[in-house]
């Protein structure tokens, strides 16, 4: 074999572990408090004591623990038999308090967020930033003019004390501890997360961003995000998540509760890039009132197992929702994602646009629900899912469930599964483009409707992730 063909072979060989660059850099664990592995009543009491919480929150945690212990592990969807809850550390407090200046954040943690581009993004294009490291938020800040207008953006632990009235009114009312096993777990051990309150009529012109980083080995992250956008207000909230890879399991069971009031608008963007040892069992729900609008933009790339179905409940007349999602499943990943939309009022509309790519034995599963209640007349909805398979070791499934409860509806649904057509590659190659670049171009074109919905820096990150993911397959 000559050298040239040897190089070709090398390019074509499969790269099992792609270098995820900044995402995989591990910091030395330096924590102030780390709970013991597993989940007991004593651990819950310790977490609550550490946080100096009001009594009602401790009661809620203990009740949730009871429900968690009583509920069986879900058997549908992903295989969770390897998830050993007794080996998960449910609470890790980093060795720092919450700061409002990056200068006060310890160097190693600051470097992590520096590498992820968070402080730079704050300077350039964001109205506020929150950063969570393991179980606690280490940084939170927001532009002063928004503070003056009454916008609140802080960590959930502070909100429980400073805005107790609002928190008690909304906290875990939409996602309750009785919904499923992992919402009960969340109710028991939740820690960190962001609280945003946008008063009536205020339009937050730049996005707010919270970034969640899990550094501790074998730990869980259970942040709670609560956003209330009052009447005729608007907000764009961005959430980013990542963790370095370990050989043991990590667990993410966060909860996101969004309340969009009459005439308000909320865009919630997520780029999730957890490491391949992560079980991402997150729950997200949004309640939309009259003429309100929720827009979900969701990118799922990381984790070993994901079960994530952001839900929009269109409660008020004329409410609308839009879901744009991309899932990229590579070797060893089972990404079970989708969305749920409940049309519970007349004249509500929804659009679902989901794309998935699977490669190297990855399994992408789109699971969706569209429900129209009997009173919700004149509903319009379109659901579109497309899946691209890059090889025949991978799997791709779609299961969109449509439940219609009255006759005055207009519902359309389309789904497609396939691979990159040889003809298209041949055409591009006949124009002088290499096979690898042709495939990458087609994949980028496939996800383009999603990337154009993202803020610029996230679109760049998504393209980089796609290049990173395709590195092993193309050629």
Binding site for other proteins (CB under 8 A): 374, 387, 389-392, 394-419
CB atoms within 10 A of CB 422: 8
Q: Which is nearer to other proteins, 217 or 413 (CB)?
A: 413
Q: Which is nearer to other proteins, 39 or 311 (CB)?
A: 311
Q: How far is the CB of 396 from other proteins (least distance, A)?
A: 5
Query: Chain centroid to CA 344: how far?
Result: 25
Please, which residues have CB within 8 angstroms of residue 473's CB and are 6 or more apart in sequence? 14, 359, 360, 390, 391
Q: Is 326 left (phi over 0), alpha (psi -120 to 50) or beta?
A: beta
Q: How far is the CB of 366 from other proteins (least distance, A)?
A: 9
Q: How far is the CB of 381 from other proteins (least distance, A)?
A: 9
Q: Is-contact 251 278, C-beta < 8 A? A: yes
Query: Chain centroid to CA 189: how far?
Result: 19
Using CB atoms within 10 A of its CB, is residue 360 exposed (0-12), middle (13-18) or buried (19+)? Answer: buried
- N residues, the chain: 475
Q: How far is the CB of 439 from other proteins (least distance, A)?
A: 13
Q: How far is the CB of 446 from other proteins (least distance, A)?
A: 14
Q: Which is nearer to other proteins, 26 or 399 (CB)?
A: 399
Q: How far is the CB of 248 from other proteins (least distance, A)?
A: 30
Q: Which is nearer to other proteins, 271 or 364 (CB)?
A: 364
Residue 463 backbone dihedrals phi, psi, to 5 degrees: -65, -40
Q: Which is nearer to other proteins, 56 or 426 (CB)?
A: 426
Q: How far is the CB of 177 from other proteins (least distance, A)?
A: 25
Q: Which is nearer to other proteins, 232 or 406 (CB)?
A: 406
- Rounded Cα gap, residues 122 and 110, in angstroms: 13
Q: Which is nearer to other proteins, 138 or 364 (CB)?
A: 364
Please, which residues have CB within 8 angstroms of residue 264's CB and are 6 or more apart in sequence? 198, 229, 230, 231, 232, 233, 234, 289, 292, 293
Please, which residues have CB within 8 angstroms of residue 392's CB and are 6 or more apart in sequence? none
Could you tell me what percentage of the chain is helix, strand and coil, using 3-state DSSP and rounding each to the nearest 5? 30, 35, 35
Q: Which is nearer to other proteins, 122 or 336 (CB)?
A: 336
Four-point Cα dihedral 422, 423, 425, 429, nearest 10: 130
End-to-end CA distance of the chain: 18
Q: How far is the CB of 400 from other proteins (least distance, A)?
A: 7
The Cα angle at residue 338 between residues 336 and 344, in degrees rounded to 5: 140
Q: Which is nearer to other proteins, 399 or 436 (CB)?
A: 399
Q: How far is the CB of 393 from other proteins (least distance, A)?
A: 9
Q: How far is the CB of 327 from other proteins (least distance, A)?
A: 14
Q: Is 338 left (phi over 0), alpha (psi -120 to 50) or beta?
A: left
Q: Which is nearer to other proteins, 225 or 387 (CB)?
A: 387
Q: What is the token pair recorded at 196?
A: 């945003």
- Rounded Cα gap, residues 451 and 467, in angstroms: 14
């Amino acid at each position: 074999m000559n050298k040239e063909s040897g190089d070709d072979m090398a390019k074509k060989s499969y790269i099992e572990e792609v270098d995820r660059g900044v995402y995989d850099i591990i910091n030395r664990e330096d924590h102030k408090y780390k709970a013991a592995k597993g989940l007991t009543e004593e651990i819950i009491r310790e977490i609550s004591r550490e946080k100096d919480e009001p009594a009602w929150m401790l009661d809620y945690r203990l009740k949730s623990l009871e429900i968690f212990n009583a509920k069986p592990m879900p058997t549908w969807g992903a295989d969770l038999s390897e998830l050993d809850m007794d080996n998960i550390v449910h609470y890790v407090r980093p060795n720092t308090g919450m700061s409002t200046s990056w200068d006060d954040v310890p160097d190693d943690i600051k470097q992590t967020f520096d590498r992820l581009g968070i402080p730079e993004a704050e300077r350039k294009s964001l109205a506020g930033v929150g950063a969570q490291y393991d179980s606690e938020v280490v940084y939170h800040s927001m532009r002063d003019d928004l503070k003056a207008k009454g916008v609140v953006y802080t960590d959930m632990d502070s909100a429980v004390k400073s805005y107790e009235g609002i928190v008690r009114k909304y906290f875990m009312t939409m996602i309750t501890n009785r919904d499923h096993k992992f919402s009960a777990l969340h109710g028991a051990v939740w820690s960190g997360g962001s609280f945003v309150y946008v008063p009536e009529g205020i339009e937050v012109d730049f996005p707010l961003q919270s970034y969640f980083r899990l550094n501790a080995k074998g730990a869980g992250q259970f942040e709670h995000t609560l956003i209330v956008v009052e009447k005729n207000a608007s907000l764009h909230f961005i959430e980013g998540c990542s963790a370095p890879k370990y050989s043991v399991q990590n667990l993410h069971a966060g909860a996101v509760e969004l309340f969009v009031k009459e005439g308000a608008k909320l865009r919630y963007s997520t780029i999730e890039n957890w490491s391949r040892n992560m079980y991402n069992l997150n729950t997200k729900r949004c309640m939309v009132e009259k003429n309100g609008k929720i827009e979900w933009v969701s990118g799922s790339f990381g984790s070993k197992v994901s079960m994530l179905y952001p839900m929009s409940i269109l409660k008020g007349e004329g409410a609308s929702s839009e879901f744009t999602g991309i899932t990229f499943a590579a070797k060893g990943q089972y990404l079970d994602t989708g969305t749920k939309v409940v049309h519970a009022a007349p004249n509500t509309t929804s659009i679902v646009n989901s794309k998935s790519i699977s490669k190297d034995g990855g399994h992408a599963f789109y699971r969706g629900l569209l429900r129209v209640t009997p009173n919700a007349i004149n509903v319009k909805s379109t659901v579109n899912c497309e899946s691209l398979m890059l090889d025949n070791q991978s799997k791709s499934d779609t299961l969109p469930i449509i439940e219609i409860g009255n006759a005055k509806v207009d519902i359309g649904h389309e789904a497609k599964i396939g691979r990159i057509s040889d003809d298209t590659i041949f055409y591009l190659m006949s124009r002088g483009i290499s096979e690898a670049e042709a495939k990458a171009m087609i994949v980028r074109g496939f996800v383009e409707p999603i990337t154009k919905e993202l803020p610029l820096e996230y679109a760049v990150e998504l393209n980089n992730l796609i290049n990173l993911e395709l590195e092993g397959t193309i050629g």
